[in-house]
Amino acid sequence: MYDTEKLRKVFPQTSIYKDRSTNAIFKAAKIEAFLRDWIIRKKAGPDGRVADTEALSQYIDSVIPRQSERGALEDAARSNGETRPFLAKINISFNSNANYYCFELPDLGFSFSNTIIEDYVWERVKDDLLKESGGWGLLKLGYMPPEENKKNGRFTLLDFKNFCPYTVRLDTYRRARAAYDDTEEWMDILLGAIDYCADGFQKQGNPAADTWLAKHTMLTRLLPFVEPRVNLIELAPQQTGKSYIFGKIGKYGWLAGGGSLSRAKLFLDMRPGAKARGLVTFNDFVAIDEIKSISFSNDKEMAGIFKGYMEDGFVNVGGNRVDGDAGIIFLGNIDVNDMDARKDMFRELPDIFRDSALLQRIHGFIPGKYIPALSPNMYMDGWALNTEYFTEILHQLRTPAETMRYRAIVEELVTIQGSDISGREQEAVLRICTAYLKLFFPHASKEMVNALKFKQDFNRYCLQPAKQMQFTVLEQLKIINPNEFGAKQMASYAVRND
**Cβ partners under 8 Å of residue 94, min gap 6:** 100, 101, 102, 274, 275
Q: What is the CATH number of domain 198-376?
A: 3.40.50.300
Intervals of CATH 3.40.50.300 along the chain: 198-376
Tell me the C-alpha distance between 129 and 200, whole Å: 40
At 29 the pLDDT is 84
Q: State pLDDT tens for residues 65-113.
A: 988 999 999 999 999 999 999 999 898 888 888 899 999 998 899 998 8
How many Å separate Cα 105 from the centre of its chain? 19
Tell me the C-alpha distance between 17 and 58, whole Å: 20
**Cβ partners under 8 Å of residue 492, min gap 6:** 416, 417, 418
Q: Are 367 and 469 in contact (CB under 8 A)?
A: yes
Helix axes 400-413, 423-440, angle to 10 degrees: 110
Q: What ranges in 279-416 are assigned the alpha helix state H? A: 299-312, 356-359, 387-396, 400-413
- Which run of H or E residues covers position 374? none
At 152 the pLDDT is 83
At 128 the pLDDT is 80
Q: What φ, ψ does residue 280 adopt, rounded to 5°? A: -70, -15
Q: How many helices (H) and strands (E) would you count in the chain?
A: 20, 18
Tell me the C-alpha distance between 348 and 97, whole Å: 45
Burial of 392 (0-12, 13-18, 19+ CB in 10 A): buried
Tell me 85's DSSP state: P
Q: Coil, helix or strand for 253? A: strand
Q: What φ, ψ does residue 168 adopt, rounded to 5°? A: -85, 120
The half-sphere exposure of 317 on its side-chain side, counting CA atoms within 13 A, is 24
Intervals of CATH 2.40.50 along the chain: 67-162
CB atoms closer than 10 angstroms to residue 364:
26
Tell me the C-alpha distance between 77 and 155, whole Å: 8
Tell me the C-alpha distance between 449 and 458, whole Å: 9
Instruction: With CA atoms as reference, report the closest residue to 2 among 443, 382, 393.
Output: 382
Burial of 226 (0-12, 13-18, 19+ CB in 10 A): buried
Burial of 30 (0-12, 13-18, 19+ CB in 10 A): exposed
Q: What CA–CA distances, in Å, run from 102 to 84, 137, 276, 426?
A: 20, 16, 10, 42
Tell me the C-alpha distance between 413 and 446, whole Å: 9
Q: What is the CATH number of domain 67-162?
A: 2.40.50
Tell me the C-alpha distance between 431 and 229, whole Å: 9
The distance between the two most distant Cα atoms of the chain, rounded to a whole number of Å, is: 79
Paired with 288 in beta bridges are: 256, 330
Ranges of residues in the chain with a pLDDT under 70 are: 131-134, 164-166, 204-205, 258, 270-275
Tell me the C-alpha distance between 56 and 21, whole Å: 13
CB atoms closer than 10 angstroms to residue 162:
18
Q: Are 272 and 221 in contact (CB under 8 A)?
A: no
Q: Are 23 and 53 in contact (CB under 8 A)?
A: no
At 233 the pLDDT is 97
At 437 the pLDDT is 98
Tell me 341's DSSP state: T
At 11 the pLDDT is 95
Cα angle for residues 109, 114, 115 (degrees, 5° grid): 90
At 204 the pLDDT is 64
Q: Are 191 and 2 in contact (CB under 8 A)?
A: no
Amino acid of residue 252: Y
Tell me the C-alpha distance between 349 and 5, whole Å: 47
**Cβ partners under 8 Å of residue 322, min gap 6:** 267, 268, 277, 278, 280, 281, 309, 314, 315, 316
